[in-house]
Structure 1
Amino acid sequence: MERLESFLAEASSLAWGMPLLILLMGGGLFLMLYCRFVPFRHLSHSIEILSGKYVDPNAPGQISPFQAMSSALASTIGMGNISGVAVGIAMGGPGVLFWMWMSAIVGMATKFFTCTLSVMYRGRNERGEVEGGPMYMVTEGLGQKWKPLSILFAAAGLIGTLPLFQSNQLTQIVRDVVLRPSGLVGDDVFLPNLFMGIALAFPVAIIMFGGLKRIANVATKLVPLMVILYTGSVLYIIGVNVSAVPHMFALIFEDAFTGNAMMGGAVMQVIIMGARRASFSNEAGIGTAAMMHGESQTNEPVREGLVAMLEPFIDTIIVCTMTGLAILVTGVWETHSDNGVSMTAQAFDAAMPVMGKYLLVICVFIFAFTSLFSYCYYGSKCFTYLFGFKYRRLYDYFYILTVIIGAVATITSVINLIDTAFALMAIPTMTCALVMSPRVMAAAKDYFARMKEEKKVAVVK
């Protein structure tokens, strides 16, 4: 196990080197400038689309734009927001938050391009059903000679969308907050973790065997609830420690450019850690959200891109920032614990004694479950793209098995494995976005011209 953990750590470090940082953050910055800040200039129109104003029931696709966004947010607003942020702060210091913000800002443009392309270049699976995602963007948009990139994405996606992290952290918080204080668990945690993993696998199996529409329906109901419950709790923690907020913001900005707090002055390591945790949280440039938005019921690719671009803002700028501030203002980040969810639980307990940590357990359950539902859909799409539907059930059983494996694995090995897979997924996704960016801009120019004309006609009437 030590050799495996060492190998995964080395693989993660190698994958998240300077080339990938340039591709993700540099590529995102280029796209933001190239589209002339579309994500910020058309926020109001994005909200109009979400309201259902432009829904076309006759358009191809399986789910509405709101369901697509809810399902995508079900995976992005998840454990990356609760424990991923804490892991980043523990390993890279408060400055990680600043670079998460920067990644999210450019990530809004990245998602606009990738999710627009996911609808522009949808393909069909062996059943003749409309499918979207980076694997189809490559073959339908760039041609069959680029297919190795599709295979790379699907193969990495099989690993990156496994439920290891969610299962691991859910098991961790139940053990630390509920079982250990009750005296039900001692130092040997393998068997308790195993039993919790098995218990978690059952409801996951029930939902995932229901297919995309059941996943979308569950996500649509749970996402608003989890956002309200979690953000309300975190805002309370920040509110009772509001006097510390200005100092913490100053510390975030200072540490972002010095790295002195945790990394011994290694600013580049702080930047890389921020990019890694942001990509795990909002998945901009990774390609998972493009798979979900590719299923949206719409004939307007640009419209779907405008919906998708809201996700990094909601996920990272709002939710991750609140989590980070809760951890910083309560002072628990100075414990240097690298087990993310335990650190967040300490912050909740410090601000809301007795009740706080149990409230977080409820939030973690909702966050983890919604992530598990979306991830099983992403993984099954990657599997069927590579192997077809004939052996699809094998993947479902494997996915359920990894829920149990994640419960007993170490957090370090889980994070390094998922980070490596995400890095590999980003290569084909960002390549598509950059190479085909002129096509997206041409489509955007046409779309906004038609919208402007429609408004003129409406005013005349």
Structure 2
Amino acid sequence: MEIFFNYINSIFEFIVPIADFLWDFPTNMAWYKNIPILGNFSLAIVILMGAGLYFTYKTGFVQVTKFKKGVKILSEKKACETGVSPLASFLLSSAMRIGPGNIVGVTGAISIGGPGAIFWMWISAFFGMATAFVEAVLAQIYKEKKGDEFVGGLPFYGKKILGNKHWVGVALAILFIVYAMFCIPAQSFNVVTSLGSVVETITGTVYDRQSFLYYGIVICLILTVAVTVFKGIKGVIKVTDKVVPVMALIYVGLTIIIILFNLDKVPYFFTAVFQGAFKPEAIFGGAFGVALAQGIKRGLMSNEAGQGTITMAAAVADNEHPVEQGLVQALGVFLDTIVIATMTGIVVVMASLWTGETSAAWEAARVSKLNLYLSSIQYLVPGTAFDTIVSVIISICYGMFAFTTLLGMIAFAEISGNFISKGKKCINFIRGLGALVFVPFGCLTVLAGLELGNLWYISDLVNILVVYANVPILLVGCKIVFKALDNYNNSKGGRFNSLDIGIETDYWNDNLKENKQVG
């Protein structure tokens, strides 16, 4: 088995330099790298952050002025005959956003850029909320009805905005499906290894990857995923509705308990973050640009604003006005980065393993971001029974983060697939591809004791391609969003008619005509 997987890994070796080049471009060129501050930012980060700044200005800081309205929309109970509620859509998108990156990604950003990276992570999230608003509104405006469900997202609004060319939507749909599928093995790997770690911690026994324990976890995961995704989007939502709030509350609650154990370190956290944002410590290179770049990159990669990934979740919601879901999805960025990711940052910064007596273990711990995070927890709650309990809970949260992300990937791939064909054969093929091919593949790498680094790079490659495809579309189509926002403000949230802003859509104007005919 190992020979087989190593062969597959070698096949995709050529992907690594391509993915690295596109993510780093043009910072991998000397003339650009030498530009002060800007030289630290890749083109992907520049366009994502630039788009967020532009959308924030043009919407009149919608993420601030309409924050309370978004919370109100989430809190309202709404029965939906078609589609799902705004809250269910919010939780589905959060299933994708709140992933393992909220632990290992944030820890990694701090280990490279220092505590100041958290400050810039907050800044990127603030402007990212406006980007999430724009892409979610476009997803709502151009959604389509499929039986008692809605489908939509990047392929659907991409087609309409780029000249109403069908091939554009097909290309975007295929691009996203490939991205989603190649993200699945890594998440499967994370689920299996984290659950295995839980059992090992509780029993005090290290199990071989070929043991019955790991085979049992693998079988349970494959069956659970298959049963869930073949029930369709609403089947996935039933799971995310329950799992996402629980795992978020547990993670935040656990961090609050750790903070209470270490109240004396709270002032240090804020001092380190704000000072480090502009004057990083020498151990992190002492370069302002590094903290800035790491924070912005981690913030944008964590909350996925501008990547088009949450647009499928935004489209399936039943709203009175497209702007409503835009406000809801902006809150998703807030939850992911300002709340969840910050919890990780608090633990790592308060522990500060790079200082004092713990500095000797710093270099060894920072090699593995998850181990670094766990070591930080152990430092903050030393010599107590709570230490083991925390390690178990964190491993469970890490696994659940990966599990919901995995489900979200398959669900969003299915929604994208509807652009190609809404027939059962096409949709079941995508479900089966994710649940019965890519999930087992990720599980088998665990059993083989391997981490296929080259294979995971494919998701990095397609991810950057999605960013380069989505953000220009948002910049072209944002005028429609600005008109929709004006319409929302003028009508005080009244029922939307796309004809009022000068466009025809498959749902928003035809639906109104049907309602008039029925009346």
Fold conserved between structures, TM > 0.5:
yes
- 2-side partners of 1:165 and 1:326: how far apart? 25
| Residue 392 of structure 2 is aligned to residue 368 of structure 1 | no
Task: State the shift of 1:338 in Å.
Answer: 4.1
Aligned to 1:445: 486
Residues in 1 aligned to 2:466 and 2:338: alpha-carbon distance in whole angstroms: 23
Q: Is 2:153 the partner of 1:133?
A: yes
Deviation at 1:129, TM superposition (A): 6.3
Bigger relative CO (Cα 8 Å, ≥ 6 apart)? 1
| CA-based RMSD | 3.2
Q: Which amino acid aligns with 2:370?
A: V
- C-alpha distance in structure 2 between counterparts of 1:5 and 1:255, whole Å: 39
Residue 29 of structure 1: how far off its partner (Å): 0.9
Which of the residues 332, 335, 356 maps onto 2:390?
356
- SS where residue 296 of structure 1 aligns? coil
**Aligned counterpart in structure 2 of residue 46 of structure 1, from 67, 70, 93:** 70
The runs of 5 or more residues in structure 2 that have no matched partner are 1-5, 25-41, 355-361, 496-519
Asked if the contact 1:77/1:281 (under 8 Å) is kept, the reply is yes
User: Offset at 1:148?
Assistant: 3.4
Residue type of the alignment partner of 1:136: F
Deviation at 1:414, TM superposition (A): 6.3
After superposition, the C-alpha distances for 1:386-412 in whole angstroms (9 at most, x for unaligned) are 466434333323313322333425275
Alignment of 1:397 with 2:432, yes or no, is: yes
Deviating more after overlay: 8-17 vs 297-306: 8-17
The residue aligned with 1:200 is 221
Q: Which of the residues 10, 16, 19 maps onto 2:17?
A: 10
Query: Which of the residues 13, 24, 29 maps onto 2:53?
Result: 29
Q: Deviations over 1:299-323 (max 9, x none)?
A: 4111111111101111101110011
Residues 1:21 and 1:177: Cα distance change in structure 2 (over 3 Å): same
The 1:298/1:56 distance shift into structure 2, 3 A limit, reads farther
Q: Which moved more, 1:116-125 or 1:154-163?
A: 154-163
Q: One-letter code of the match for 1:444? A: L
Q: Structure 1 vs Structure 2: percent identity of aligned residues? A: 28
Distance in structure 1 (CA, Å) of the matches to 2:249 and 2:274 = 28
What is the aligned residue count?
449
Secondary structure in 2 matching 1:286: coil
- Tell me which amino acid in the other structure corresponds to 1:379: A
Could you tell me which amino acid in structure 2 is paired with residue 342 of structure 1?
A: N
Q: Could you tell me which of 164, 170, 175 is aligned with 1:144?
A: 164
Q: TM-score, normalised by structure 2?
A: 0.77
Q: Distance in 1 between matches of 2:266 and 2:15?
A: 36
- Which letter maps to 1:372? L
CA deviations on 1:277-327 (whole Å, 9 max, x unpaired) are 333321111112111110111241111111111011111011100111112
Q: Distance in 1 between matches of 2:133 and 2:114?
A: 30
- Distance across 1 between alignment mates of 2:137 and 2:167: 20
Q: Give the 3 Å change call, closer, same or farther, for CA 307–10 of structure 1 in structure 2.
A: same
Q: How does 1:406-421 map to 2 (within 5 A)?
A: 406-407=442-443, 408=445, 409-410=450-451, 412-413=453-454, 416-421=457-462
SS at 1:441's partner residue?
helix
8 Å CA contact retained: 1:158, 1:382: no
1:76 paired residue among 97, 104, 120: 97
Q: Which runs of 5+ in 1 are unaligned?
A: 455-461
Query: Structure 1: how far apart are the matches of 2:12 and 2:371?
Result: 21
Residue of structure 2 equivalent to 1:341: 370
The 8 Å contact of residues 280 and 419 in structure 1, kept in 2 or not, is answered as no
Alpha-carbon distance change, 453 to 375 in structure 1, aligned in 2, over 3 angstroms: closer
Contact 1:156 1:424 in 2 (8 A): no
Query: Residue type of the partner of 2:44?
Result: L
Between stretches 155-164 and 348-357, larger displacement belongs to 155-164
Residue 327 (structure 2) pairs with residue 306 (structure 1): yes
Residues 173 and 341 of structure 1 are in contact (CA less than 8 Å); yes or no, is this contact kept in structure 2?
A: no
